[in-house]
Amino acid sequence: MVRSFDATPVDLDWLDDLCAQALWSPTAGNSAGVRMYTVGPAQVAKYFAVATDHQWRSTSRRAAGLQRAGGVVLVTSRPQDYVARYAEPDKATSGLDDPSAWPIPFWHTDAAMATMALLLLIEESGWQATLWGGFRHCAAVLDWAGVEDEDLFGTLLVGRGDGHDFASTSLAREVPTRPMRVRRIEL
């Protein structure tokens, strides 16, 4: 993840195409309930004005670098598409025609897979990105974008890194190595 961009604008046709490619990722029951909305360079400042508040913009050491992203992608999901799909005759016996019945809401899973596909496509194209979690101001962002009846999963900030990232304090945490997190089951 790159958290400091150099303000190189993204080409929206290119970004739209990458988003369409990323949406090849699977969706539960072929529900196709994930959407991506692209925001061009001229709108990045407006996005940040809605997605953040003045205090964050004035105190975060990463604010300036993130706000120089060359484009933005909003990733949303539509839980109602999944519920409707699993109410159809070939899926009705699953009992997943009620959002609260899903032990793991696949609309989040599918949004995550599409987001990862997009991140990999961006990287493969020689660009960089960061996942900006939808922790605050989600309703305001959706309203600003004119999006209704969808949940904001997250936002990707896209651009070219400027080499001035601030390392995350999370990197100092002791965590199990990747091989330690792999378990083999032998029955």
Q: To 10 degrees, what angle do helices 12-22 and 106-124 make? A: 130
| Domains of the chain and CATH, by start | 12-181 (3.40.109.10)
Residue written as tokens 């990707």? 156
- Give tens-digit pLDDT for 14-23: 999 999 999 9
- Give tens-digit pLDDT for 134-155: 778 999 999 999 999 999 999 9
According to DSSP, the residues that pair with 132 across neighbouring strands are 155
With beta carbons less than 8 A apart as the criterion, state whether 75 and 114 touch.
yes
- Give tens-digit pLDDT for 85-103: 999 999 999 999 999 999 9
